[in-house]
Amino acid sequence: MSAAVSPEQPSTPDSAQYQNHLQHHHRNSNGTYATISESETASSSTSTSGSAMTTINSSSSIFKSSSGRSSSYQLHQQHLRSAYGASEEMLETEKASLVERVNDLERIVLEQKDEIVCLKSTLADVLRRLSTLDNSYDSGKSTLENSSSHNSSVMSSKSFRFSRNTITRLNSNVDEKRFGRVPSRVTSSPSRSAMSGSHGGTAKASSLAQKAIHHSNGSLHSDSMSSHSISPAPSPSPRQPNLQNLSASVVGTIGVNGGLNGGPSMTGMGKRWSSTGDFVSGSPGTPVSSASGNSISRFSTKSLLNLNSSLGGHHNGSGKGGHAFVQRKDDDDYLKLYISGRPVVLHIPEAQISSYETTKVQPAPNKRLRLDWVYGYRGKDCRSNLHQLPTGEMVYFVAAVVILYNMDEQSQRHYVGHTDDVKSLAVHPNKLLVASGQCGGHDGHDTLPHIRVWNSVSLATLNVIGMGDFTGAINCLSFSRADSGTILAAIDDSPDKIISIWDWQKKENGRRITETKCSVDTIVAVEFHPLDKGQIITIGKNHIAFWSLDQNGMLYKRMGVFENREKPKYVTAITFTPAGDVVTGDSSGNIAIWSRGTNVISRFLKKIHEGSIFSICSLRNGGFVSGGKDGRLVLLDESMRMKAEQLVEAHFGAVRVVAQGKGSQLLIGTTKNCILSGDFTLGLVPMVLGHTDILWSLASHPQVAQFVTGGRDRLLQLWDSLSHSVVWSKDIGEPIQAVQFSNSGDTIIVSGVGGRWMVFDTVTRELLAVYQDGQDVIQTIKFSPDGNLLALGSKDSCVYIYQCTKAAHRFSKIGKCTGHSSFISHIDWSKDSTVLRTNSGDYELLYWNPTLCRQITTHGTVRNLEWATQSCTVSFETVGIWPENFDGTDINSACKDGEEQFLVTADDTGKIRLFSYPASQPKSLSHAYRGHSSHVTSVKFMHDGVRLLSAGGMDTSVLQWRVV
């Protein structure tokens, strides 16, 4: 008999092992653990084996027999196996139940998909019926009266319940857009699963919307050195349109025709003529064409009543509760232009009263616009968007345009296939193909996020990838390099930052190989390994990830290991050594080298920069150049030893992108939207300059080929339109709202904040004088044609009139014109300088005697006046510029040329439209052009009438166009 042993001091391995199991744990079915006490074990584990007996005493835990210990231990092991077996059985049961639930969910999804298809078909039938009713209205007066009265009686009571929720009336905040509180875009991006389901046989051809695939026809083989990029007519879409991008037809019709929006009834005595300012002539070469009823709404809602019938009908596609249409009663000497339900009386000139007919269609001009030059670069919030091409051009982007700029020849070509902001760029290993990705837009199916692969020589689009498959902007792109660029990786800006791999050459829209969640945090870049096929690296907030793509299209992820080093907040830059090692820079200014094929750091260099390293460029000679937030460029040799450094001047911004140009030349993109060129020996010179914040103001010089811009970045910049360069730039210390040259061009009037306006010398940029009018910002500035008077329209609804003195910078105040109920938006002077006309934020058109500062209410004295400029968007001369789906805030600017042949407008959809002047017919055809991605805030003809300029608001770009 062995001696008794205390459980705290076991003397044998058996007793120690048993003691460890006295407090053992069993996993319950709910995942928790239960402890079996000594007393429970004692009561259930007493047994005999031969002559040996084991007694487990719960109070003393003394073993009586070694053979008894062995028997108890075996029973205990059996108990454990039984418990674990029960647990495994329960897990298997749960697994089977889970599979059944997943199958049920899949079945429900398929049923709902069928219901959606059925719903789409039903809605299409409804729209077709509405179109039939509308056509019957146009066929005769009797049909009109019968159908309208029937529709009004049947639909008015039901639809009014919905109209209070779906129709938004223009309120007192209509001026928000003009004061920098830019309205957010309402885009409709379908979910990934929903759009994936549309690839099958349920997708049908539809007339509700068409995808415009643009091919710029500019080519290196052209004779001229200038840009030849013209967006051609859209081609039909092979895909079914996104239902969510359709907007209200039913509610819009009832809202206006039924009087809910304050407009006239369809059964009224007067004739109702729908404005068709977005018509086009349909001739070849028109960049962006849209005919009546085919315009796609900029906004969408979730209401089923908000369906935009592209088949016709009078509706409000903007979703803002407003329409633009014209009404004239028989033999009236005036028109009524309804904007957002508010009528504006426009008096017809006496010479046209008898011959004027609202049914006439004014043709589009026989001339067109060609994009001549693009000013600006997007480096503020985008990376890896500056590359050198073998054509001698550097490629970069701003707004919705990808620019190919030849510095030696001072020429640009433009790829203009995108419909909204370009956010990413990748160059194929052959250096001839380019992929560019965009964000989602506000003008229909073809503005969904997608990728375009195109030829940099011919500018022809090769493939449009992922239209409807992405839920956010395409922030990162990379072609594979070890297999000659056969696949393309993309990361979108969805909440899960989806990484998708595409065989971009398959079919018309490419084939998605696979996709998976990348990270919930910010992704900075994605790159294929240059030597190892199927190896992908992503970097971003708190991570670097190494991905492997196998032959079955599966992605496997390994996270980078920082071991005992401090993990950086961001990994911000990536490149590769000639041997295939990965080189990264981080937000702490450190550089790490990751050995090829591993996820661990082999070498770590601290504090190469003060702050984030935004870019690392691998040079052809084997060295590296890094650039960072501190504005420094650091040259490193192959062994990562520092050889030289260069400081970028602070007013150009921090280094965002470093790329290698010709020879030893470097291309530097900065955070202040500048591009510099140079090397460590000769220094850096600016090649591209731009604004960094919302660009509101633009004015052309009255005598020479110059123009001035001002923005919220406080920069006042004078440009030369022939050399395409900045003459001078000045930070005035406050945001700029409006600019205007004096008639001689010697001075520039600039409005700042709080009613301040300043006078600057055009040549010396010296501040000559400062004036103050009211406490609200000056919105618009205009000199009289004779140069004797100056009018300033303010946000406080007043127009301030000044007398110009002999000294160019001295002004004497005459008074102020009061009578508007909203901010002053536009001003025009009559050619004889005796009358002033103004528009306001609530679409008023008023006339003034400027010397007396009194309103003119006798319209017989103003109806026949000729106007020196055409800035007012609400006037008889601009009746035809208002598409039926626009409200009063959608058209921001208008301008006519000096010969009065053309009228150009700028709107919130990012388009420039060219009309014949005057556009006084409700149905006026136009040519429409894309290029800007934001609302276009200003458009101006230059002094020669051949070129014109447009300012892009939030995209900060200036586009220069030529009439051809």
Output the average pLDDT for the chain.
78
How confident is the model over 518-525, as a mean pLDDT? 93
Amino acid at site 607: K
Query: How many beta carbons lie within 10 A of that of residue 177, not counting itself?
Result: 18
- Exposed (0-12), middle (13-18) or buried (19+): which is 577, by Cβ within 10 Å? middle
CA–CA distance, 203 with 240 (Å, rounded to integer): 5
Global pTM? 0.70
408-420 confidence digits (pLDDT tens): 999 999 999 999 9
Under a CB-based contact definition with an 8 Å cutoff, are residues 836 and 791 in contact? yes
Under a CB-based contact definition with an 8 Å cutoff, are residues 560 and 544 in contact? yes
Banded model confidence at residue 508, pLDDT cuts 50, 70, 90: confident
Which range among 103-107, 277-281, 548-552, 768-772 shows the weakest confidence by mean pLDDT? 277-281
How confident is the model over 534-551, as a mean pLDDT? 96
- Return the axis-axis angle of helices 250-257 and 141-166, rounded to nearest 10°: 110
Helix (H) or strand (E) holding 253: helix 250-257
CA–CA distance, 633 with 679 (Å, rounded to integer): 10
From the list 854, 930, 841, the residue with the least C-alpha distance to 892 is 841
Joined together, the tokens standing for residue 496 give 């899960």
Which range among 209-218, 249-258, 364-373, 600-609 shows the weakest confidence by mean pLDDT? 249-258
- Is the confidence at residue 6, as pLDDT, over 60? no
pLDDT of residue 329: 82
Question: Residue 265 carries which DSSP code?
Answer: -
Banded model confidence at residue 120, pLDDT cuts 50, 70, 90: low
892-920 confidence digits (pLDDT tens): 999 999 999 999 999 998 999 999 999 99
Task: Supply φ then ψ for residue 128, to 5 degrees.
Answer: -65, -40
- In degrees, to the nearest 5, what angle opens at C-alpha 11 toward C-alphas 5 and 15? 75
DSSP-based three-state secondary structure for 810: coil
DSSP-based three-state secondary structure for 384: coil
- Is the confidence at residue 121, as pLDDT, over 60? no
- Is the confidence at residue 152, as pLDDT, over 90? no
Joined together, the tokens standing for residue 470 give 């992405």
How much of the chain, in percent, has pLDDT values that exceed 70? Answer: 69
pLDDT of residue 564: 87
How much of the chain, in percent, has pLDDT values that exceed 90? Answer: 59
CA–CA distance, 964 with 961 (Å, rounded to integer): 9
> Which phi-psi region, left, alpha or beta, contains residue 628 (left: φ > 0; alpha: ψ -120 to 50)?
beta
Which range among 97-101, 232-236, 611-615 shows the weakest confidence by mean pLDDT? 232-236
Chain-centroid distance, C-alpha 732 = 29
Under a CB-based contact definition with an 8 Å cutoff, are residues 625 and 666 in contact? yes
Strands 451-455 and 433-438: antiparallel
Q: pLDDT higher for 117 or 8?
A: 117
CA–CA distance, 124 with 130 (Å, rounded to integer): 10
Banded model confidence at residue 876, pLDDT cuts 50, 70, 90: very high
Which range among 132-141, 634-643, 658-667, 830-839 shows the weakest confidence by mean pLDDT? 132-141
In whole angstroms, how far apart are CA 578 and each of 527, 575, 595, 618, 622? Answer: 15, 10, 12, 9, 7
Q: Cβ contacts of residue 910 below 8 Å, gap of 6+?
A: 400, 420, 441, 443, 930, 931, 932, 933, 934, 935, 936, 952
Banded model confidence at residue 356, pLDDT cuts 50, 70, 90: very high
- Return the axis-axis angle of helices 13-22 and 66-139, rounded to nearest 10°: 40
Domain extent listing, the chain: 13-107, 120-216+227-362, 560-687
How confident is the model over 246-265, as a mean pLDDT? 35
Highest mean pLDDT among 163-172, 238-247, 367-376, 801-810: 367-376
End-to-end CA, the chain: 114
Q: Cβ contacts of residue 769 below 8 Å, gap of 6+?
A: 758, 759, 809, 810, 811
927-941 confidence digits (pLDDT tens): 999 999 989 999 999
pLDDT of residue 42: 40
Banded model confidence at residue 306, pLDDT cuts 50, 70, 90: very low
Query: How many beta carbons lie within 10 A of that of residue 72, not counting itself?
Result: 23
* Bridge partner list, 700: 707
Q: Cβ contacts of residue 518 below 8 Å, gap of 6+?
A: 491, 496, 497, 498, 499, 538, 545
Q: Could you give the count of Cα atoms lying within 13 Å of 650 in the half-sphere of its Cβ?
A: 0
CA–CA distance, 115 with 103 (Å, rounded to integer): 19
> CA-CA-CA-CA torsion for 202, 205, 209, 210, nearest 10 degrees?
120
- Is the confidence at residue 15, as pLDDT, over 50? no
Amino acid at site 75: L
- Residue located via tokens 């007067």: 270
How much is the CA Rg of the chain, to the nearest whole Å? 35
Under a CB-based contact definition with an 8 Å cutoff, are residues 741 and 759 in contact? no
Q: Can you spell out the DSSP letters for 882-936?
A: --TT--TTSEEEEEE-TTS-EEEEEETTS-EEEEESP--SSEEB-EEE---SS--
Banded model confidence at residue 630, pLDDT cuts 50, 70, 90: very high
- Residue located via tokens 């520039």: 748
Domain 560-687 classification at class level: mainly beta
CA–CA distance, 397 with 24 (Å, rounded to integer): 66
Amino acid at site 715: L
Banded model confidence at residue 191, pLDDT cuts 50, 70, 90: very low
Q: pLDDT higher for 228 or 407?
A: 407
- Is the confidence at residue 781, as pLDDT, over 50? yes
- Exposed (0-12), middle (13-18) or buried (19+): which is 760, by Cβ within 10 Å? buried
> CA-CA-CA-CA torsion for 893, 866, 924, 261, nearest 10 degrees?
70
- Residue located via tokens 């200003």: 938
> Does the bond joining 918 to the residue before it have cis omega, within 30 degrees of 0?
yes
Under a CB-based contact definition with an 8 Å cutoff, are residues 801 and 786 in contact? no
pLDDT of residue 73: 67
- Exposed (0-12), middle (13-18) or buried (19+): which is 557, by Cβ within 10 Å? middle
In whole angstroms, how far apart are CA 885 and each of 24, 86, 100? Answer: 74, 68, 49
Taking CB atoms within 8 Å and a gap of at least 24, the contacts of 204-208 are 204/240, 205/236, 205/238, 205/240, 206/124, 206/240, 206/241, 207/310, 207/311, 208/124, 208/127, 208/241, 208/246, 208/310, 208/311
Q: Cβ contacts of residue 546 below 8 Å, gap of 6+?
A: 535, 536, 537, 557, 558, 559, 560, 599
Q: pLDDT higher for 782 or 13?
A: 782
Q: pLDDT higher for 40 or 768?
A: 768
Strands 361-362 and 923-924: parallel
* Helix residue spans in 29-185 (DSSP H): 38-44, 66-139, 141-166
Question: Residue 380 carries which DSSP code?
Answer: S
Mark 366-389 as b/e (b = at least 16 C-beta within 10 Å): eebbbbbbbbbbbbbebbbbbbbb
Q: pLDDT higher for 687 or 197?
A: 687
Joined together, the tokens standing for residue 905 give 């407008």
